[in-house]
Structure formats: C-alpha cells, structure tokens
Amino acid sequence: MNRHQVLGIFERIAIHGVLVAAALVMLTPLVWMISTSLKASGHSLSRGIEWLPWEDIYVSDALKTPVIVLGARVRNEEAGNTIEVGIASLRDRRRRTEVSLPEGRFSGEVLEYRVRNVSEADQTAEAFWIPCDQLERRIGPRWSNYSEALVKMRFFSLLANTVAITFLGTLGTVLSCSLVAYGFARFRFPGRETLFMVLLSSMMLPPVVTMIPVYLIFRDLHWIDTLLPLFAPAWLGTNAFNVFLFRQFYMTLPFDLDDAARIDGCSSFRIYWSILLPLSKPVMATVGIFSFTGLWLDFMGPLIYLNSIEKFTLSLGLYIFKGPYTVQWDYLMAATLVVSLPCIVIFFLGQRFFIQGTVLSGLKA
Amino acid sequence: MTLNIRSQRFREAASGYLFILPWIAGFLVFILGPMLASLYLSFCRYDPSQVRSGATWIGVANYVKMLTDDENFWPSLRVTFRYSIISIPVQLLAGLTVAILLNQKVRGQRFYRTCFYLPVVLGGVATSLIWMWLFSPSQGLINVGLANLYEALGRDSHLTHILSGSLRAVFGSAEDNPLLPGWTASEEGALNSLILMSLWGVGGSMIVNLAGLQAIPTVFYEAATIDGAGRASRLWHITLPLLSPTIFFNLVMGVIGSFQVFTQGFIMTGGGPKNATRFYVLYTYQNGFEYFKMGYASALAWVLFVIVLVFTLLIVRSSAAWVFYEAQKR
Amino acid sequence: MDRESTTTTQALLDALRWLGYGALALAFALSLYWVWRTSGSHVEKGKVNIDFLWPTYTPQKVRYGEHLAEQYMKENPNVQVNLILTSDPYKKLQIMIAGRTTPDVMWMGIGWQQFGDALMPLDDLAAGDPDIRRETYLPGLWDAELWQGSLRGLPSSGQVGVLYYNKDLFDQAGVPYPSADWTWDDMVRTAKALTRDFDGDGVIDQYGLQLEQVYRYPFVVYAGQFADSEWRTARIDNPVVSAMLEHYRDLIYKDRVMPTPTASAELGMLPMFEAGRVAMHAASGYALESFRKVQFDWDVAMFPWFEFNGQRYRATGLWQEEFCILWNTDIPEEAWKFARWCAGKDMIRWAALDGHIVPGRVDVATSPEYLAPGKRPANMRAFIDSQSFAVPMTPHAWHVRIAAEFDPIWQDFMQSPESNPISAAEAAKRFNTALQRILDEYHAENEPLDAAEARP
C-alpha cells in the first residue's frame, strides 16, 4: 500500500464520518416524530427524554393488563422505615432503585406499586396495589395511533384531491416553466432583460398583501371551493422560481446544439422538445421535486380557496389535530409521517436523474 | 442580405415572444392585477374586516407614517436585515458544500442525499412543534444533551467553559441555568437560533446545486486531471466557474427569500422575545390581518419590494463579471 | 449482441415508453375528471341555502358542526346547510368579507369582537322570542355578547377560567384539595408543597402551578376591567393591579412554584399538566376534552380570593362561543332560525352531554343529567359558579393589537430580580398608557355609526 492509498482510506473515513454526523443531525426530528407517533397520548412529554414507547404491564395469573403506575411503597434501608412515594421520585423501574424526595435521596427497595388500569372508557377507575414482581416494563408501540389518525383526518377522501392537484400542478409547472425559460434563454428579443426582471420581481412582493386581490380574481372566475386555483395557474408558467431555475440551466448549454439542429431543419419547438428537454433531466427532476413537495404540502392555498371538507387536501387535514390551544401529538405525528411519505419517495426516485455527465452523453448521441 | 438578417432577427424575436407567451398571459391574469391592487391600497385606508366600507384614498399618508410615526418600522427592518446578512452567505455556503460532498461517489450517496432533503419534506405544523421542543431551554433535546455533556466533562472544566461560553455568546443564555444557551427563548439568541434552524432546510439549495453540477461536462475534469491539476485547483478553476449560473440563482433567490422571511417568526416565536424576531414581513402580516390595516400593510410591502428590487438589480448587474454562461458565447 | 436481439430490446423499450405515456395520459385524464367532479357547487336550487362557517380545531369539533348541519337539514327538508370548514376561521372570514362571499351563519369564539361591525344586531329578532333573553344564560354571558350596545351572537358555551388540579399529586403530597372559598395565600402554600426537584439537579421537575398565558390579564385586572364600560378610558393604573402584578411575579421568582413564562411557553401547558408535571393548571373549559383522556384523577376548583388592604377581590376570564349572523346575509330570517335552533335547548343539551361545550344556558348547565356524578370533573359546578365573577376578555375590536403592545411591557416586567425588571407600579402605568393610546387611535378612526347608516 502506498502513501496515496493510505491517505485515500483516511479521507474516505473522514468523509463518511462527517456525513454520518450530519445525517444524524438531519434525522433527529424524524426519529423523534416516529417515537412520538408510537406513544400513548400524554406520554409524549414524560419527564426526561424517552426515545422508546415504554408501557407498563401488570402480570397476574394468566392476564397481562397495561397499567399506569402512579406510585410505590419503598423501604428505606438506611432509615429502616417504609414510605409511599410518587412514581416520578423513582429513578427507574428496578426493584432496588434510587429515590429522590425533597428531603433528600436514598437508595431503597420497592415493595409494591400503586397502579390504575389503562382504559379510556372507565375514567374513574380506582387505583390498586400490586406486588413489585408483578409489574413488567416492555416496549409497547401504539401502532393503532396510525390507523386512528388516518380515520380521524379522513385520509383517503383527502388523498384523491391532493393527488389530483399535485399531479396536474407538477405536470403544468414542468412543462410551462421549461417552455417559458426556453424563450428567455435562447432567443434575443427587445425587452427581454426587462421582462425577465419583471418575472423576478413578481416574487418580491410579500404574498400577504396580494392574498385578497388574488382571491377576488378566483371569485370572479367562480373557482372558489374548487381545486382549480391550486393548480391551474401553474400551467401558465406563473412560478417564477422554476422559470428562473430552468433558464439558468439552459444558459449553460452551448448554442452549437441549436445551430446544428437548425441547419438540419428543426423547428424551434422541436429543438426545445427533442434536444433541450432530454438534456435537462436533472433540472426537470429538481423542478418536479420542488413542485411536487410544494403542492403536496401547500397549506395557505387550500385554506383560502377550499370550503367543503370533501375537497380538502391532506395538509389541511393535518390541522384537525392542532387547534389554537390543543395539540394531539401522537395523532399529529403519525399523520404527518404518512402524509410526508410520498414526498420522500418522489425525492428518492427523482435522484436517479442526478448523474454527472448526462449533458455530455447527450451531446454525443 | 441585410433584409435577410433583419427577417431572421424578427423571426427569432417572434419565436421568443411566442415561447414566453404563457407566462405573459399568466402574469397579466393572475399576478399583475393583484400587484397593482396592493399598490393602490398602499395609498388607502382599508379595513378588510368591515362589511360596510371599502378602501378610502388617503394619499401618501401611509408612507409618511411609516417613516415618521411608527416605532416598529425601523426595528423590524433591522431584524430582517440582520437575518438576511447572516443567513444568505451561510445558506449559500452550506448548500454548496453539501452538494459538492454528495456529488462524489460515496457509498450510500442516495441515502445521504435523502437525509439532507428530509427536513424539507417534513413540512407542516408538526415540524415547528418539533423545533420548539428541540430548542426548549429546560427540557429540549439539545439542552438536555448539552447538560449531560457538561456533566461528563465536569461542570467547572476548562472545556465546558469554552463550549458553553461560545454557545451562549451566539444563542443567548437560558433563564434558569447559567451554562446552557437560551435559544429561541432568549432575546439575544432567538434570531441566531432561527438562522441555525433554517440550515435544516439546506436540502433545497443542495438539490439545485446538484442539478447544476450535473451540467458540468466530465471532459473538463478529465482534461484537468491529465494536466495535473489538484483537487483544489479543479474546484476553483472548473467547478465554481461552471457552477456560477446556479450560484447566481441561489444568491438571487436567497435575497428574495430571506428578506421575506416570515414563517418561523410567526409560528415559533410570534415575533418575540421582545420583538427580537419580529421580521418585517411578520409586522406587515400583523398590520394586515391582525390590526386590520391592509392599506398600511400594502405600503410596508411595497417598501420592501423596492428594497429587494434594488438588491436584486445590483446582483444582476454584477453578474456579468462573475457568472459564466455557455450560451452567451454567441 | 446480434442485431435481432437488439431490435427486440429496442421494440420492448419502445413499447414500455408508450406504456409510460399511456399511463401518464390516463393519470392526466383521471385527475381532470376528479377536478371536474369536485367542482360542482353545493348550492341546491329551490332550497334555502345557508352557508355555515365552522372551525376544525379537533376531530370532535368537526363532528359537532356536521351534526348541526345534518340534523337541521333532516328537520327542515327545504333547507340546505353548506358547511364551510376551516382551521383558521377568522382569517378565512376576513378574506371572505373582503371578497364579499361571507357565510350567513358562523361559529365565533375568543376575540369575536374584532368582527363586531360585520355581525348583524339581533335585538329586534330576539325581542319577539321568549327563549332569547338575559335570564336564559349564565350570569355575565349576555353582556359578553354585546357589541356597541346590541346583541351580536347567541351563546352556546360559556368558558370561564378555573383551576384544574391533579388529585393524584395532591394525594401523594398529602395536601388538601382546593376549597371553593380559598385565598391566594392558600394557593401559594399548596403550590409550594407540590413543587419538587426530584433529582436534586437544581431544575424543578414538578411545578405546583401554572397559569395559561391569557390568564395573566384576569389576574392583572383582578379588581375589575381593563377599561371603563365604553372602552374609552384605560383603567389599569391603580394600586390593586400593582399588588396583583407583584404577587403574580412572586409566584415564579419568590415562591418559585410556577415555571417562568418562557419555560411554560416552550412546550405548551396542557401537555405539562397531562404529563403530571404540574399540579394545578388554570385554563377554561376548552381543556376538558383533552384532559378527559388522561389517566390520573383530576378535578376543578374556582380561582382563589385575593386580599388587599382588607378588601377581597376575585375575577376570572370569560370567553364564549356563539352563533353569529353576518350582516350582509341575503336570508336574515332563515339564518336567524338556524342560529336560534343551534343555540336552542335541544342542541345545546346534546352538545353538552356529548362533551363538546360547557353549556351557557342555565337550564342545561344546572340540569341533573349534566351535573351527574361519576364523570370528570366531579365539581362541574365550578364552571357555573365562576360565571358570577367572570369578566369578558378584552372585548375590543383591536384586542390582538392590545395583546401585541402589552407583550414587551409584560416581558420587561416578568423577569428575575437579577435582571432588574421594572416595578409593578411602573408596569401598570405602562400598560395603561399603551392601552389608552390604542383606544384613542381606535376612536379617531372608527366613530361608531348608527345601525341604519352602518347597514351595508
């Protein structure tokens, strides 16, 4: 092994080290979401940080019932007495454990636990005592949070609307923005630079103040409470961000391409469709991913234009778990994860087009 | 001959207009009208919660009030400027670094890319709630982790002091613990915390850069390697110049986006503590939708429009010097 | 590879590509079909169409709204109730008002006064209705529905602030439950016994008390209102308010029984109480739905008395939910019938027993079936009894702005002694000045119009 190879290995280790660390940081919110989505409601904020959805089980004869542990009777070995403490005072669920009280800490032996049945129907269930060895602690993920959340937010009825909007909007954005960008990037015409600044400037006014006038336009078109306002404008290249992105990409392609094709008798549209578009797969994937994500998660548009719940999108549906004062953490997290899944899949698939040298191989072909 | 060139020019221009026609139509129908309407409203008093009255023309009174009689105007503008000045370069650099790293052939490349893009996708209400929990000074994951770390290093150790001191210098101090940073809850740290948080969205500019990197023909690298160019030299002489259209894109969008920053201040901090994160657009929103002064809000928005336009024009003008377009060679 | 197989592969690839195009076209057609299908209007010709705006705060709330619409249509076959659901009713309403597409009837809650001028005065309609009068509702509720002297909504729910307390934590600490007549000092003493730092790391793990942010104002105005009844003169700057402020701040920094404002804003207070990390929690009836799911035993109590200079003061915030009619409705009579039906005894009884609301009607609130034992909270009466000293919360059109301007003052005041906060008297003075400035500006811009002139 020569010096170069050794360095190469070190370098690879270093790169992976950095990437793994960064990926961990990036994944933390996701992991916590998954963990919260599997906990029983009210457990999401237990003292300290619990990554796993623990559950207490009372084992009696043949029955195993989930219980909530309220407190314990502990023997203080140093003082020789037995006292009753709240469950938060115990360090862990072991037989010999450390007990912290306002008066001080001691190590003690748990004799009995005070528990109550977990049962939503019976709110007034009485607490009872069970011997220490009949309490088991196990990981009990609540998968039912997922099904319950999806039912409560009417997932499947909202899914169809969201899919329709996202599909039509993404298709329209990719086609119209690439076409408009082609016009800006590859043709000289009077006022081109000015018009391009106008295009950019349409992004510079905070949407807060245009919200009401835009609403009036859609009202006059009789598009309120339909899916149209959410995707139809996308077909007219109104998304300046994506036009700009396409334009920047086209500007990097040599003009020889167009000239050669034109000599072969290709029309301008043909050059766009058969030469530039196939070459711009990476940027098409990028615009596609952005546009998909944007439409799928769009909240403000649906909030303003949709009235009936059967026309709602998934992003509106998520708000059913968050009122102005209450949050149903478990359901919200479960539903958010499910709703986000298609975006992750689309990104994973879209990456296929990020392959270096596509342009070159395109040139040779 | 001249006629021929002329007619060629004319045809080129006609095709150009034809291709941008969809946008012109869309702009005229959906964008221009509302922009002009808000410009008109900026000279009016208009309360959108009133059923009985529309807008009343009051001339430039809104603009005069903004400059002379609004104690929140300058502070909110300052907050937005501070945010932009720090976040634009940081975002740009982070997006570039991540993209270049993940453009190499590393094992698990797709997985890493997905990790970086994930936070962009996990949008919606849930994310901001998660963030509030992460940043929570007394019970959040970050501070609990830091507390454990300091415990392990020893509370009074030199390392703890350096670490805690530098973190607190940037992110403020927690109220009830002298060692931990206060993040979004502290007046000094709130803005920087939001900037830090915005880095989780780096996946967006990462994929733009990745797409840009794909456009660089591999022959250039091959030729440079044969010429014996080192890695740094290839980065400096090939990657960066050829990526400059993408960098230009990210810079312009960074300016437009960061001057309009709003959401985090609205959802996470509500503009606080003590207006430390009351961004300009947040203040605009409050005027329009909470104080019912839509006319005044419009005036605020148009002032911002002019500011952003000036900055964008400066960048566009400067771009001739540093952005290299293959298509300009003609 | 020989030529033949190359052509076969090529043909296969082509077929696949066309299949892809076909699938794309199919998806396109299906999506368009879906858009067309969902574009149909709800308006039914030949029927009375009532647009009804309702919030989607919780799944239960949605069911409540849907039940109202369905039930009313069942009873009135000539009526079509179009339910407009939204997670942000006020913003939606604002845009609808600007677009002149307002609903006919809508739910309103906290802060409805910001739309006071958009709501139809109901006095004339109520005058001919024996059921709609002051005595039908719990004390204070009727007045809370007034805007510029006229009735603007029919209350469904009267939400007052009460103290929720975790009985299990009380039992463990061996302290008595709050009584109906307890004082501020009793509350502080109890809270001290319930505040714990279990692991001895200097960070408190269990707090005795927390007050929802909105409750800081009822405590500020324990002695009464923010302003005079006309809302022209601010009334915050007085010794009782100063004393109240001082005691409030002491809960955090002197008595050390309450989390700091930032600590409690971090995670939301409901989850803290639900996780058993706070023993007493001041909130209104909205918390019931959430707390009914928790596993420990809890109950509610009235706010304590505050003693100052030999006088006793007590107040709590009052928020109500109501059914309102928008002023530019085309069908005022039908809208009134519907709103009146929603706020009538039968529907309120149903909603109360189903756990949607704390009923504002005396007949339902005091009925044995509503106060039935065996349900949490056992002391449901606290909600009803507290109404006698409840104050409507900031009944002003610009209440959001008032809150926003109070905020920095509040933050200057609510600081630990080391950071040299402003004094309580200074805070009261600043609150007063800020409020007065807003009230003056409001009156300069909005002189109230006569009803006749104001009708759009």
Each residue of A315-344: pLDDT tens digit? 999 999 988 777 788 899 999 999 999 999
The residue extents of the domains of chain B are 74-123+201-289+296-329
d(CA C147, CA C454): 13
User: CB distance from A12 to chain B under 8 Å?
Assistant: yes
Any domain includes A48: no
| Residue-wise pLDDT tens digits, B153-179 | 888 889 998 999 999 999 988 877 778
pLDDT value at position A39? 83
Average pLDDT, chain B: 89
Contact assessment for residue A136 and residue A54, using Cβ atoms and an 8 Å cutoff: no
Does residue C454 register a pLDDT over 60?
A: no
For A171, the domain range is 154-360
Do A71 and A130 belong to one domain? yes
Domain count, chain A: 2
Q: Are residues A235 and A352 in the same domain?
A: yes
What pLDDT score was predicted for residue C442?
A: 87
The residue assigned the tokens 């269990």 is C206
Is B49 in CB contact (< 8 Å) with chain C? yes
Q: Are both A166 and A141 inside the same structural domain?
A: no
Using the predicted structure, report yes or no on whether residue A141 has a pLDDT greater than 70.
yes
For residue C221, what pLDDT is reported? 62
DSSP letter, residue C160: E
Q: Which subunits sit against B, judged by 3+ Cβ pairs under 8 A?
A: A, C
Q: Which of A148, A163, A195 is the last residue of a domain?
A: A148
**Mean pLDDT estimate for chain C:** 86
pLDDT at C456: 44
**Percent of chain C residues past pLDDT 70, beyond the cut:** 91
Asked whether the beta carbons of C302 and C180 are under 8 A apart, the reply is yes
Average pLDDT of the segment spanning B90-118 = 90
C301 Cβ neighbours under 8 A, 6+ residues apart = C162, C163, C165, C177, C178, C179, C180, C182, C379, C382
pLDDT digits (tens, 9 = 90+) for A168-179: 999 999 999 999
Q: Can you tell me the mean pLDDT for A128-141? A: 84
Residues belonging to chain A? 365
Residue A207's domain is classified under what CATH number? 1.10.3720.10
Could you tell me the end-to-end alpha-carbon distance of chain B, in angstroms, rounded to an integer? 20
> pLDDT tens digits for B233-271?
888 888 899 899 999 999 999 999 999 999 888 888 888
Smallest Cβ–Cβ distance between A100 and the set C28, C198, C272 belongs to C198
Instruction: Among B19, B124, B213, select the one facing A187 at the smallest CB separation.
Output: B19
From residue A149, how far is each of A329, A339, B287, C54, C59 by CA, in Å?
Answer: 11, 11, 36, 21, 10
Q: Any idea which residue has 């006793």 for tokens?
A: C312
Note the pLDDT tens digit of each residue in A56-106: 888 886 778 777 777 788 888 777 788 777 776 676 777 787 776 656 677
Token code pair at residue B290:
């909470």
pLDDT digits (tens, 9 = 90+) for C362-378: 999 888 888 876 677 88
Answer yes or no: is pLDDT of B47 > 60: yes
Kindly tell me the sign of the dihedral angle through the C-alpha atoms of C6, C7, C11, C14: positive
Whether residue A249 is found in the same domain as residue A105:
no
Residue C49 or residue A365, greater confidence: C49
Give the bridge partners for C234, in sequence order.
Answer: C227
Q: Do residue C411 and residue B291 have CB atoms under 8 angstroms apart?
A: no
Q: Residue C147: phi, psi to the nearest 5?
A: -135, 120
Quick check: is A348 in a domain? yes
**pLDDT bracket for residue B226 (50, 70, 90):** confident
User: Can you say how many angstroms the Cα of residue B116 is from the centroid of all Cα atoms in its chain?
Assistant: 17
Is the ipTM higher than 0.90? The answer is yes
Tell whether A14 is covered by a domain: no
Judged by phi (left if over 0) then psi (alpha if -120 to 50, else beta), residue A53 lies in beta
Burial class of A194 by CB neighbour count within 10 A (0 to 12, 13 to 18, 19+)? exposed
Which residues of chain C are within 8 Å of residue A123 when distances are taken between CB atoms?
292, 375-376
**How many residues are present in chain C?**
456
User: pLDDT band for position B14 (50/70/90)?
Assistant: very high
A116, A148, A180: which is the final residue of a domain? A148
The pLDDT score that the predictor gives to residue C450 is: 46
Copy the structure tokens of residue B174. 């927690």
Measured between CB atoms, does C101 come within 8 Å of chain A?
yes
B168: Cβ–Cβ under 8 A, 6 or more apart, which residues? B179, B180, B181, B182, B189
Which among B177, B272, B289 has CB closest to C94?
A: B289
Q: How many CB atoms lie within 10 A of CB A118?
A: 17
Q: Are residues A159 and A98 in the same domain?
A: no
The reported pLDDT for the residue numbered B328 is 58
Residue C176 token pair: 């008595």
Closest to A164 measured CA to CA, from A290, A296, A291, A284 = A296
Contact between residue A337 and residue A145 where contact means Cβ atoms under 8 Å apart = no
Residue A237 belongs to a domain? yes
Query: Does A105 lie in the same domain as A188?
Result: no
Same domain for A115 and A187, yes or no, is: no
Q: Per the structure block, which two tokens stand in for C334?
A: 């039908």
DSSP A206: -
How does pLDDT run across B71-99, given as a tens digit for each residue? Answer: 899 999 999 999 999 999 999 999 999 99
Asked if residue A21 has pLDDT above 80, the reply is: yes
First to last CA, chain C: 82
Q: Which residues are bridge partners to C95 per DSSP?
A: none
Instruction: Record the tokens describing residue A19, joined without a space.
Output: 């990437």
Pick from B134-148, C303-317, C322-336 the range whose average pLDDT is largest. C322-336
Q: Which among B19, B31, B130 has the least Cβ separation from residue A179?
A: B19
B112, B106 Cβ separation under 8 angstroms: yes
Helix (H, G, I), strand (E, B) or coil at B270: coil
What percent of chain A stands above pLDDT 70? 89
Q: Has residue A38 been placed in a domain? A: no
pLDDT for residue A324? 79
For C214, nearest residue in chain A (alpha carbons): A325
Do A208 and A133 lie in one domain? The reply is no
pLDDT of residue C265: 62
Nearest CA in chain B to C438: B291
Record: contact C286-A326, CB cut-off 8 A: yes
C-alpha distance from A310 to closest chain C C-alpha (Å): 8
Residue bearing tokens 């179009």: C82
- Phi and psi, residue A108, nearest 5°: -140, 175
Q: Which of A111-115, B280-284, C92-96 has the lowest mean pLDDT?
A: A111-115
pLDDT category, A122, cuts 50, 70, 90? very low
On average, the pLDDT of chain A sits at 85
Q: Is the pLDDT of residue B313 over 70?
A: yes
Chain C residues whose beta carbon lies within 8 Å of the beta carbon of residue B140:
266
Backbone angles phi, psi at B325, to 5 degrees: -105, 130
For position C213, what pLDDT does the model report?
66
Q: Which residues of chain C lie closer than 8 angstroms to B286, CB-CB? A: 400, 404
Topology (CATH level 3) of domain B74-123+201-289+296-329: MetI-like fold (1.10.3720)
Count Cβ atoms below 10 Å from residue C335 Cβ, excluding itself.
Answer: 25
| pLDDT band of C198, cuts 50, 70, 90 | low
Locate the chain C residue with the closest alpha carbon to B132: C266
Domain boundary among A88, A117, A148: A148
Q: Judge: A248–B246 Cβ closer than 8 Å, yes or no.
A: yes
Q: Are residues A247 and A180 in the same domain?
A: yes
- Cα–Cα distance between C318 and A9 in angstroms, integer? 69
Burial class (CB within 10 angstroms; exposed 0-12, middle 13-18, buried 19+) of A104: exposed
Distance CA A271, CA A182 (A): 10
CB A233 within 8 A of CB B30: yes
Whether B52 and C455 lie within 8 Å, measured CB to CB:
yes
Answer for the pair C158, C366: CB distance below 8 angstroms, yes or no.
no
CB contacts of A22 in chain B (<8 Å) are 98, 115-116
Distance CA B181, CA B173 (A): 4
Predicted model pTM: 0.89
Predicted pLDDT at A306: 94
Whether residue B121 and residue A293 make contact (CB cut-off 8 A), yes or no, is yes
Lowest mean pLDDT among A33-42, A238-247, C21-30: A33-42
